Chain A
Amino acid sequence: MSELKLPVGPGDHVQGPRDAAITLVEYGDFECPFCGEAYPELKIVQRAMGNRLCFVFRNFPLSNMHPHAERAAEFAEGAATIGHFWEMHDLLYENQEALEQRNLTRYATELGLSHELIQSAIRGDFAERICRDFTGGVRSGVNGTPCLFINGRRFDGPATAAALLEVLRSFGED
């Protein structure tokens, strides 16, 4: 049914080979508890699939419901500019209960973001990028978070390692 309208491109945050047989795209919100629950599950999936999987994260902050989500996404994008997107992604999901500005600033400092870069994230300088992810997600049929796409098709099953691995392994056999 719903298909990814924005193909995975050079601007995306990816883990694993870009030419892997299977691409798993997550639209996520750093404050969303369901994304928080999916986080360790997706790690298991990545470890199990190894180089056969390219994992992509795109921003989908539901800012009215999750007041810290947009700012957290700004910090992740800020970290991305110095090559530390995934470290920040992991820190945010591992500390979902602590996403106040002072917490974000501490994670950023730990990862080596400069004062200027931190100010930039606080100002919202990455809003356009985040908005582009969000709008592309809406157009692709993202209806909540986390929303997963496997090789471009929306996956409507549960975001658990067991459910995902079953589907991903069947893809690999094609």
Chain B
Amino acid sequence: MPNSPSLLVAGQHAPDFTLRSTADQSVSLSELRGRPVVLVFYPADWSPVCSDQVSLYNELLSEFHTYGAQFLGISVDGVWCHAAFAGDRKLHFPLLADFEPKGAVARRYGVYEESDGVCQRALFVINADGVVRWRYVSPIGVNPGAEGILDALDKLSREPGQSL
């Protein structure tokens, strides 16, 4: 078992990745340079806390968009599971499948929960240059809400060179 890297901290470059968002589409973090990215790792589609959490973010997409931010969810579920979950909850943002090799991206961000084989409940706000500006890991059973993300985006929008 390779050692998982430690949790990324603010100021570090966010490791690039390419993950499937649907059976025939992929998203690369590097393609999103030039705008902030909100990256939300969560344990599982369909679980009660995750469902509340993603439903809340779904209601806030227009708010995130006012910062020009792209919002991405990531779990170890596969694309078809994501498709069913997104359809059922009417989600309007991509869910990425950290499915094969399982949890590889979560490991690189230091947010893989080895004992349960799932992503931790972790939030990252990445600036337009691909640098982590804020991150938060919530206890796995607690929905972290959105206040931290919005505060981080507020701060980001005041950084030189990050204006929209």
Please choose the segment from B4-12, B36-44, B140-148 that sits at the chain A interface, where 4 or more of its residues have CB less than 8 A away. B140-148
Contact across chains for B52 and A143 when beta carbons are under 8 A apart: yes
In the complex, the chain A residue whose C-beta lies closest to that of B61 is: A64
Residues on A with beta carbons closer than 8 Å to the beta carbon of B70: none
The majority secondary structure among interface residues of chain A is loop
- Taken residue by residue from 107 to 149, chain A's Cβ proximity to chain B (1 for < 8 Å, 0 otherwise) reads as 0000000000000000000000000001100111111100000
How near does chain B come to A73, taking the closest CB pair, in angstroms? 13
Contact across chains for A64 and B145 when beta carbons are under 8 A apart: no
For A144, give its contact among B58, B63, B91, B143 (CB under 8 Å).
B143
> With A and B bound together, what is the CA distance between A39 and B151 in angstroms?
32
**A141 and B147 in contact, given A64-B90, A135-B63 (Cβ under 8 angstroms):** yes
In the complex, the chain B residue whose C-beta lies closest to that of A64 is: B90
Contact across chains for B63 and A65 when beta carbons are under 8 A apart: no
Residues on B with beta carbons closer than 8 Å to the beta carbon of A64: 55, 58-59, 89-92
Contact across chains for A65 and B145 when beta carbons are under 8 A apart: no
Contact across chains for B146 and A144 when beta carbons are under 8 A apart: no
Count of residues in B whose CB is under 8 Å from the partner chain: 19
In the complex, the chain A residue whose C-beta lies closest to that of B149 is: A138
Residues on B with beta carbons closer than 8 Å to the beta carbon of A63: 59
Q: Does B150 reach chain A (CB closer than 8 Å)?
A: yes
Give the interface residue-count category, chain A.
10 to 19
Residues on B with beta carbons closer than 8 Å to the beta carbon of A141: 145, 147
Q: How many contacting A-B pairs (Cβ < 8 A)?
A: 46
In the complex, the chain B residue whose C-beta lies closest to that of A156 is: B142
> With A and B bound together, what is the CA distance between A2 and B145 in angstroms?
10
Q: Does B53 reach chain A (CB closer than 8 Å)?
A: yes
Contact across chains for B144 and A139 when beta carbons are under 8 A apart: no
Could you tell me which residues of chain B, from 19 to 46, have a CB within 8 Å of some CB in chain A?
Answer: none
Contact across chains for B90 and A143 when beta carbons are under 8 A apart: no
For A140, give its contact among B55, B59, B147 (CB under 8 Å).
B147
Contact across chains for B58 and A142 when beta carbons are under 8 A apart: no
In the complex, the chain A residue whose C-beta lies closest to that of B49 is: A144
- Taken residue by residue from 128 to 147, chain B's Cβ proximity to chain A (1 for < 8 Å, 0 otherwise) reads as 00000000000000111111
In the complex, the chain B residue whose C-beta lies closest to that of A5 is: B147
**A144 and B52 in contact, given A64-B90, A138-B146 (Cβ under 8 angstroms):** yes
Q: Does A62 reach chain B (CB closer than 8 Å)?
A: yes
Q: Which residues of A contact B (CB under 8 A)?
A: 2, 62-65, 134-135, 138-144, 156
13 pairs, A vs B, C-beta closer than 8 Å: A62-B59, A64-B55, A64-B58, A65-B55, A138-B145, A138-B150, A139-B150, A141-B147, A143-B53, A143-B144, A143-B146, A144-B143, A156-B142
Q: Which residues of B contact A (CB under 8 A)?
A: 52-53, 55-56, 58-60, 63, 89-92, 142-147, 150
| 15 more A-B residue pairs beyond the given contacts A64-B90, A135-B63, A143-B143, with a C-beta to C-beta distance below 8 A | A2-B147, A62-B56, A64-B89, A64-B91, A65-B55, A138-B60, A138-B147, A141-B145, A142-B145, A143-B52, A143-B145, A144-B53, A144-B55, A144-B56, A156-B142
